[in-house]
Amino acid sequence: MRNSVEELAVLKREIAEGPDAAATQRQRDRGKLTVRERIDQLLDPGTFQEIEPLRRHRAQGFGLEAKKPYTDGVVTGWGTVEGRTVFVYAHDFRIFGGALGEAHAAKIHKIMDMAIAAGAPLVSLNDGAGARIQEGVTALAGYGGIFTRNTKASGVIPQISVMLGPCAGGAAYSPALTDFVFMVRETSQMFITGPDVVRAVTGEEISQNGLGGADVHAEVSGVSHFSFEDEQTCLEEVRYLLSLLPQNNRETPPAEATDDPADRRCEELLDLVPADGNRPYDMRAVIKSLVDDGEFLEVHERWATNVIVALARMGGQVVGIVANQPQSLAGVLDIAASEKAARFVQMCDAFNIPLVTLLDVPGFLPGVDQEHGGIIRHGAKLLYAYCNATVPRIQLILRKAYGGAYIVMDSRSVGADLSYAWPTNEIAVMGAEGAANVIFRRQIAASDDPDAMRARMVKEYKAELMHPYYAAERGLIDDVIDPAATRQVLIRSLDMLRTKHADLPERKHGNPPQ
């Protein structure tokens, strides 16, 4: 027995070291960590429990029968992050370029099934060259099994995809099905058809990073939620995100004790937000003032920057924040912003994260491109997400809230539990100038001094329909509050709503706008 145990230990060491030193050096030359170094960065020290390290493929032909490395190019198992169980699978680029074959896929299927059964998050560390061509259609079938499990796990356990190398072809659809995608600049790329195919079909010349690098997906396509300069920082942020998420859809996110008083006044807000609705300001500064210790994790920071979505804590409890950003496109809603906010609202609702919506929105972005691009159906995605959400929902109107954008951004009429406003708020169908031009166009046109008449009509419209207390008098907002007391009001409201229970109608599933 002792001899057998020693032989096993030697074998396990060889498996852990990888196929050969040259392959490991090539990985390092690319600026990448090895597969087990990545897992060690992600998980708490000494907690990783590997499964099926001795698995090898059974394929024949094209030289595969002479090369049967252990693990078959993917390491699977579980460990903990801050003491809570997390499942992980990680491609080993040193073995078949991390390409997926039958045995490789079977290991991933197994760990995904275990994560769903155990009700714990699943993190994939992606660094693979796609399907293993030598195994033909069985490799493609392996991807089908992964996609099916991604879909089955959606809204049940958090799924996080970390892109640490190439991800091409059909393989890119698995990350797209998960809740969050992380990428590392220069070393990770995602695309359906690579530069060579693009060149052959369209004649366009483009690099891998130009086609599907981290910056492209963080700023242009919106595929990536986070991008970082190096793997270590990326994996540390994955750990931070996991600390803000529950284990599954039956639990609430973990609370943390905080020294930041719940009744702390935010006097800086009185000067931070200009009363003039046309002057921009940084909504991030408002969020920083309201949340515990000024810390929040912004999702999709570089895409659709006219809306902010973030996870933070208030009074030690995790909340999801959706906020217009007046510094970008005046905070209007457009196609990309609607999609970004809708997906975030759905994620928060799936994992029992209360929603706080901060409004300063002049409406939807007008334009031919927006209308032809489907702003109606894309805006409806955000409306559908809010209407379908059963978590606690609080709306706060900082300044202006005009037209359909006011309704869509979680108004009382679509189910917000509470709606508050600052004393500078303006809730209306449109801005006073536009409204006056429509309502009083005949009087203005017939006047001897149209400009003076327009100014008088604007003032009259504001006085009648846009004063800060108009909506409160009609029960459309619950209170007009002192901005400095906002943190205290929000935390008290969230505490009250913690036991909220709401049921949706019995159905197989909804049919959200696409």
Say which residues have a Cβ less than 8 Å from residue 376's Cβ, sequence separation at least 6: none
Annotation marks residue 316 as catalytic: no
Name 131's bridge partners. Answer: 100
How many residues in total does the chain contain?
A: 514
Active-site residue among 119, 145, 170, 415?
A: 170
**Token pair of 224, please?**
């990536």
**Token pair of 296, please?**
């929040």
Say which residues have a Cβ less than 8 Å from residue 306's Cβ, sequence separation at least 6: 324, 325, 328, 329, 330, 331, 332, 333, 334, 337
Give the CA angle between residues 303, 309, 311 to the nearest 5°: 130
Residue 247: which region, alpha, beta or left (left: phi > 0; alpha: psi -120 to 50)?
alpha
From CA 82, how far away is CA 87, in angstroms rounded? Answer: 13
Active-site residue among 194, 222, 374, 404?
A: 404
Annotation marks residue 213 as catalytic: no
Return phi, psi of residue 10, to 5°. -65, -45
Active-site residue among 119, 136, 169, 374?
A: 169
Annotation marks residue 415 as catalytic: no
CA-only gyration radius of the chain, Å: 26
Say which residues have a Cβ less than 8 Å from residue 226's Cβ, sequence separation at least 6: 180, 181, 182, 183, 218, 234, 237, 299, 301
Annotation marks residue 404 as catalytic: yes
H-type alpha helices, 268-394: 269-272, 283-290, 335-350, 368-372, 375-388
Percent of the chain that is helix, strand, coil (3-state, to 5): 45, 20, 35
Active-site residue among 131, 405, 416, 421?
A: 405
Q: So which residues are the catalytic ones?
A: 169-170, 404-405
